Structure 1
Amino acid sequence: MGITDAKSLTKMEKKPIKRNENLVPVSREHHATLLFCWKLRNGVKMEIEPERITKYMNWFWKHHLEHHFDTEEKLLFIDHNDEMVKKGLEEHQRILAKINEINLRTEEKSYPLYHELADLVDQHTRYEERELFPYLEEKFSDQKLDEIGKTLHSEEHTALENYDDEFWVKEK
Structure 2
Amino acid sequence: MKRHEALNPLSHHHHHALLMAVEMKKAGTKDNKKKYKELIRELIDFWEGDEEDHFRDEEETLYPLYLVHAENANTELVKEVLYQHAQIRGLVHSLRENQQTSYDKMQQLGNLLEKHVRLEERELFPLIEQAVPEKYLYQANGKFHRDSYSGY
Normalised by the size of structure 1, how large is the TM-score? Answer: 0.73
Give the alignment partner of residue 150 of structure 1, picking from 138, 142, 145.
Answer: 142
Is 2:24 aligned against 1:31? no
Q: CA RMSD in A?
A: 2.3
1:168 aligned partner: none
2:77 aligned partner: 84
Give matches, 1:44-59, under 5 Å: 44-45=28-29, 46=32, 48-59=34-45
Give the alignment partner of residue 100 of structure 1, picking from 90, 93, 107.
Answer: 93
Q: 2:142 is paired with a residue of what secondary structure?
A: helix
2: CA distance between counterparts of 1:146 and 1:59? 28
5+ residue gaps, structure 1, are 1-16, 162-172
Normalised by the size of structure 2, how large is the TM-score? Answer: 0.81
CA contact (8 A) 1:28 1:159 kept: no
Q: 2:95 is paired with a residue of what secondary structure?
A: helix
Q: Which aligned runs of 4 or more in structure 1 are off by greater than 4 angstroms? A: none
Aligned-pair identity in percent equals 27
Which is higher, the Rg of structure 1 or of structure 2?
1
- Paired residues in the alignment total 142
1:62 aligned partner: 48
Is 2:57 aligned against 1:71? yes
User: Per-residue displacement from partner, 1:103-122 (whole Å, max 9, x unpaired)?
Assistant: 343524x1111100000100
User: Per-residue displacement from partner, 1:74-132 (whole Å, max 9, x unpaired)?
Assistant: 21121398222222111111000111222343524x11111000001000000010001
- In structure 2, give the amino acid aligned to 1:56: E
1: CA distance between counterparts of 2:35 and 2:59? 34
CA contact (8 A) 2:17 2:113 kept: yes
CA contact (8 A) 1:20 1:137 kept: yes
Q: 2:143 is paired with a residue of what secondary structure?
A: helix
2: CA distance between counterparts of 1:156 and 1:47? 30
Task: Label 1:158 to 1:103 Cα distance change in 2 as closer, same or farther (>3 A).
Answer: closer
2: CA distance between counterparts of 1:138 and 1:146? 14
1: CA distance between counterparts of 2:142 and 2:34? 42
Pairwise CA distance, 1:141: 1.9
CA contact (8 A) 1:77 1:89 kept: no
2: CA distance between counterparts of 1:143 and 1:32? 27
